[in-house]
Amino acid sequence: MNTHFFSDTTVLLGRSLRHITRSMDTIITTTVMPIAFLLLFVYVFGGAIQAGPGNYVDYLLPGILLITIASGISYTAYRLFLDMKSGIFERFQSLPIARSSVLWAHVLTSLVANLASLLVVVGVALIMGFRSGAGVLAWVAVAGVLAVFTLALTWLAVIAGLCAKTVDGASAFSYPLIFLPFISSAFVPTATMPGPIRAFAENQPVTSIVNAIRALLAQQPVGTSLWIALAWCVGLLISAYAIAMAVYHGKIS
């Protein structure tokens, strides 16, 4: 690894963050859909959904947080695609910087931007009545799971941004990720679903991640959900990172 990797990444991260701060509508846009889902399901459908004791917003929030992340990472693919098309990657190649720092700057920018979006969504949920008695360690665990999940999806976004042929193609890949929580325990218990759909819902990554976050926030036993969630996130992260780096080196070689 280039000895200047961290300093190079820091400089490029500053460049990407400046782009974000100059267009705060990016964060606002990525929070509109999750907040709309939150309002819709709590105030329109919430009365008809039996998800157990307690406020439905408490049950719903973990899934909405994952949707927020899936919505936000589309901008990583979009910005990366624009950088590829603008020729700035060729300019970076001519400089004595670590090649991977260019991608890591985009990834860390996504992490910061998604953190801001998540805080906005949690703030709205608090206004709507969300409450949690979870302690500091539980919240740290929730933040850790969400961070690893964000990194995993962001590296998938990097692959899309590098491989896309059009701007629409760069960002459209996130749509299936946004709707995957709908076939999970994010909105209703999987026990209420018909056989084949229930089997898929109970064995896809979103359900274990949602269940782990929900249990942590509700101060309930987490069981194996947390470790299964982390295994999914870390496995996806490693796979996406390896593929993204291989595609990147193939593009710039």
Residue 75 token pair: 């901008």
* Residue 176 in this model has a pLDDT that exceeds 90: no
Say if residue 182 is exposed, middle or buried (CB neighbours under 10 Å; 0-12, 13-18, 19+): middle
What are the CA-CA distances from residue 75 to residues 164, 180, 190 (Å)?
A: 13, 18, 31
Using the 8-state DSSP alphabet, how is residue 100 labeled?
Answer: H
Cα 48 to Cα 41, 102, 114, 185, 189: the distances in Å are 10, 48, 31, 16, 13
Taking only the tens place, the pLDDT of each residue in 19-30 is: 776 666 666 777
Measured CA to CA, the distance from residue 23 to residue 140 in angstroms comes to 29
Segment 161-190 mean pLDDT: 86
Query: Mean pLDDT over residues 235-253, rounded?
Result: 88
The chain-wide mean pLDDT, for the chain, equals 85
CA atoms of 241 and 220, how far apart (whole Å): 33
Model pTM greater than 0.95?
Answer: no
CA 111/CA 55 separation, integer angstroms: 29
Per-residue model confidence as pLDDT tens digits over 91-114: 666 565 666 778 888 899 889 889
Number of domains in the chain: 1
**DSSP alpha helices (H): ranges in 128-204?**
136-163, 167-172, 174-179, 195-202
Render pLDDT for 57-89 as a digit per residue (tens, 0 to 9): 999 999 999 999 998 888 888 888 887 777 666
Report which DSSP code applies to 204: S
**pLDDT in the model for residue 250:** 82
**H or E element at residue 86:** helix 74-86
Q: How confident is the model at residue 1 (pLDDT cuts 50, 70, 90)?
A: very low
**Rounded-to-integer distance, Cα 213 and Cα 231, Å:** 14
The pLDDT assigned to 68 comes to 94
List the domain range (segments joined by +) for residue 10: 5-252
Q: Which residue has the higher pLDDT, 174 or 140?
A: 140
